[in-house]
């Protein structure tokens, strides 16, 4: 089983370290998940980032400043303005400037935005279940804990030891 990734990547030589193999396995898995979820979102005329914005707005239940939305995204989106522009062009969100501070722009999900999320809920839940079906509930909880532990790593939080990137 440990050689599975090497076979998938058609890599002749062993990995340089177990850390390298684990990291590349995580990246490969994340890419496959992103591709599969991306196909589902495209069926509804959305990208993963656009879905994420709509999900955040529906979950909040109130308009949010665009920079607050950007801070809550699962994946960093450097062009939050363009992302919101495209959703606004599709009629899924509307925005308004803050009366007290014109630099702040509030974004609100619209009825069409809520409707598309409503249609996506069941197929998305089914895809989540399918993606995790090889793992027991206990294994899924272990995976969550392990990934949380990795995200807390100093190398990922920007506090890497000297000599590390």
Q: How far apart are CA 86 and CA 5, in angstroms?
A: 37
| Residue ranges making up the domain that contains 65 | 29-120
Please report whether residue 5 resides in a domain. Answer: no
- Determine phi and psi for 110, rounding to 5 degrees: -100, 175
Going by C-beta distance under 8 Å and a sequence separation of 6 or more, which residues neighbour residue 109?
54, 57, 58, 92, 93, 117
Instruction: Identify the pLDDT of residue 116.
Output: 97
User: What CATH number has the domain bearing residue 80?
Assistant: 1.10.10.10
User: pLDDT tens digits for 72-123?
Assistant: 998 887 788 899 999 999 999 999 887 787 788 899 999 999 999 999 999 9
User: pLDDT tens digits for 121-162?
Assistant: 999 999 999 999 999 999 999 999 999 999 888 666 665 555
Q: How far apart are CA 119 and CA 122, in angstroms?
A: 7
Instruction: Identify the pLDDT of residue 155.
Output: 66
Q: How confident is the model over 14-41, as a mean pLDDT?
A: 94
Q: Look at the chain and report how many structural domains it folds into.
A: 1
Instruction: Identify the pLDDT of residue 1.
Output: 46
How many residues are listed for the chain in this entry? 165
Instruction: Identify the pLDDT of residue 2.
Output: 54
Instruction: Identify the pLDDT of residue 114.
Output: 98
Please report whether residue 131 resides in a domain. Answer: no
Please report whether residue 154 resides in a domain. Answer: no
Q: What is the DSSP letter of 97?
A: E
Please report whether residue 43 resides in a domain. Answer: yes
Instruction: Identify the pLDDT of residue 79.
Output: 86
DSSP H helical ranges for the chain:
4-9, 18-43, 48-60, 66-72, 80-89, 111-132, 137-151, 154-157
Please report whether residue 74 resides in a domain. Answer: yes
Q: Is 138 helix (H, G, I), strand (E, B) or coil?
A: helix
pTM given for the model: 0.84
Long-range contacts of 63-68 (CB under 8 A, 24+ apart): 63/96, 63/106, 63/107, 63/108, 64/106, 64/107, 65/98, 65/104, 65/105, 65/106, 65/107, 66/95, 66/105, 66/106, 66/107, 67/104
Question: Could you write out the three-class secondary structure of 50-96?
Answer: HHHHHHHHHHHCCCEEHHHHHHHCCCCCCCHHHHHHHHHHCCCEEEE
Please report whether residue 49 resides in a domain. Answer: yes
Q: Tokens 């707005």 map to which residue?
A: 57
Instruction: Identify the pLDDT of residue 151.
Output: 87
Please report whether residue 68 resides in a domain. Answer: yes
Please report whether residue 115 resides in a domain. Answer: yes
């Amino acid at each position: 089983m440990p050689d599975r990734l090497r076979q998938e990547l058609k890599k002749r030589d062993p990995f340089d370290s177990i850390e390298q193999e684990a990291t590349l396995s995580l990246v490969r898995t994340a890419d496959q998940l992103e591709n599969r979820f991306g196909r589902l979102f495209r069926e509804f005329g959305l990208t993963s980032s656009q879905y994420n914005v709509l999900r955040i707005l529906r979950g909040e239940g109130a308009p949010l400043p665009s920079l607050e939305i950007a801070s809550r995204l699962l994946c960093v989106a450097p062009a939050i303005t363009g992302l919101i522009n495209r959703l606004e062009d599709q009629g899924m969100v509307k925005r308004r400037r803050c009366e007290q501070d014109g630099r702040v722009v509030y974004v609100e999900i619209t009825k069409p935005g809520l409707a598309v999320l409503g249609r996506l809920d069941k197929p998305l839940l089914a895809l989540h279940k399918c993606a995790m079906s090889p793992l027991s509930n206990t294994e899924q909880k272990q995976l969550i804990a392990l990934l949380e532990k990795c995200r807390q790593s100093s190398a990922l939080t920007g506090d890497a030891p000297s000599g590390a990137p």
